């Protein structure tokens, strides 16, 4: 994954979480799908999705003083599922 802030990356995260809902991701799955959980771009994208109410607040944790994406906390919210469902229905 790129280290830059990206709407396309955010949408990819939402779509993936929508597809696997209600299951949570494993650490290996996060790395495979999105890259290193400490990646600043990934953390920024997830933080933006949290601020929009699309992903649970538990998705970002501190590990050894650094923000990281938590596999078990990375879950789509009800608003996030509505957003993805609405978009898929419009396409």
Q: Give this prediction's pTM.
A: 0.89
Sketch the domain layout of the chain as residue ranges. Answer: 7-90
Which among 16, 20, 81, 9 is positioned nearest to 42, based on CA atoms? 9
CA max distance for the chain: 43
Q: What is the pLDDT of residues 49-61, one digit of tens each?
A: 999 999 999 999 9
Within 13 Å and on the Cβ side, how many CA atoms surround 32?
A: 6
Mean pLDDT is lowest, of 1-5, 13-17, 61-65, for 1-5
Nearest to 82 by CA among 6, 14, 8, 20: 14
Give the SS3 label for residue 58. Answer: helix
Calpha distance 20→90 (Å, rounded): 21
Domain 7-90, CATH: 1.10.10.10
Name the pLDDT band for 8 (thresholds 50, 70, 90). Answer: confident
């Amino acid at each position: 994954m790129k280290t830059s802030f990206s709407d396309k990356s955010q949408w990819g995260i939402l779509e993936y979480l929508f597809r696997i809902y209600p299951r949570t991701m494993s650490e290996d799955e996060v790395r495979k799908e999105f890259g290193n959980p400490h990646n600043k771009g990934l953390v920024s994208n997830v933080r933006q999705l949290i601020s929009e109410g699309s992903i649970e607040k538990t998705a970002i944790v501190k590990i050894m003083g650094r923000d990281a994406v938590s596999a078990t906390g990375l879950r789509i919210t009800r608003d996030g599922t509505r957003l993805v469902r609405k978009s898929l229905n419009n396409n």
